[in-house]
Amino acid sequence: MNIRDFDLELRALTKEDIAIRPFVCDGSPLECRVFIVGFNPASSVPFWPFWQPPRGFDKASWDAEYLRIKGAWSPTRLRINRLSCALIPYASCLETNIYSYPSRDEKSLTASRRDTRVFEFLLEAVRPAVVLFHGEKATSFGKSLDEHSFHIKAGKHLRFWRYEAVDAAAEEISSWLKQKAGG
């Protein structure tokens, strides 16, 4: 799949809903070998203004908008950024969720917005090598996937991880990627 076909399918699937945030990455999602997957976005920082095919996603501008809206990085975002940066020499990361609509907590995500089709599309289109599920619900969902061609790492929600645990996960993922590339 190329970026233009990806864009057409993403737009059709999401109906270009301004409330949805299917993912965050730096550049083309098709080049991302690692997914970081939570339950759903906690912030309503928009997606579409930063999605610009054929370049892909403009993460630097999205980050600036996040900071403008939120004022500071959340504990989860700090850990996602740390993990993504640690993996840069080995792989690009795509940050996504099993559900693409934001809500302030799990209970306030309505049933009509609990749709995994965007996440399933991303798995199929991008075909990551490693998927890190974080949080009880995301981990449970990840473990329920019958067939997959990726390595799964799962754990508690990232906001509860110590930085040492984030660094250890980055080392484990990078080691696995190096081993896979060499073998």
pLDDT in tens, 74-103: 999 999 999 999 999 888 999 999 999 988
Q: Is residue 20 part of a domain?
A: yes
Q: Is residue 41 part of a domain?
A: yes
Q: Is residue 135 part of a domain?
A: no
Supply the DSSP string of 5-40, one letter for each residue: HHHHHHHHHHTT-TT----B-SB-GGGEEEEEEESS
Q: Which amino acid is at 181?
A: A
Give the per-residue pLDDT at 183.
52
Q: What are the residues facing 93 on neighbouring strands?
A: 34
Q: Is residue 137 part of a domain?
A: no
The residue range of the domain holding 126 is: 3-130+153-182
Q: What are the residues facing 75 on neighbouring strands?
A: none
Beta strand 130-134 with 56-57 is unpaired
Give the per-residue pLDDT at 168.
96
Cα 66–141–91 angle (5° rounding)? 55
Q: What is the pTM of this model?
A: 0.94
Give the per-residue pLDDT at 9.
98
Which stretches in the chain have pLDDT values below 50? none
Q: Is residue 86 part of a domain?
A: yes
Give the per-residue pLDDT at 21.
96
Q: Is residue 143 part of a domain?
A: no
Q: Output the six-digit token pair for 113.
A: 């917005």
Q: Is residue 10 part of a domain?
A: yes
Q: How far apart are CA 161 and CA 180, in angstroms?
A: 26
Give the H/E segment covering residue 95.
strand 92-97
Query: How does 126-161 read in b/e, with b if 16+ C-beta sit within 10 Å?
Result: bebbbbbbbbebbbebbeeeeeeebbebbbebbbeb
Give the per-residue pLDDT at 103.
86
Q: Is residue 139 part of a domain?
A: no
Q: How many domains does the chain have?
A: 1
Give the H/E segment covering residue 94.
strand 92-97
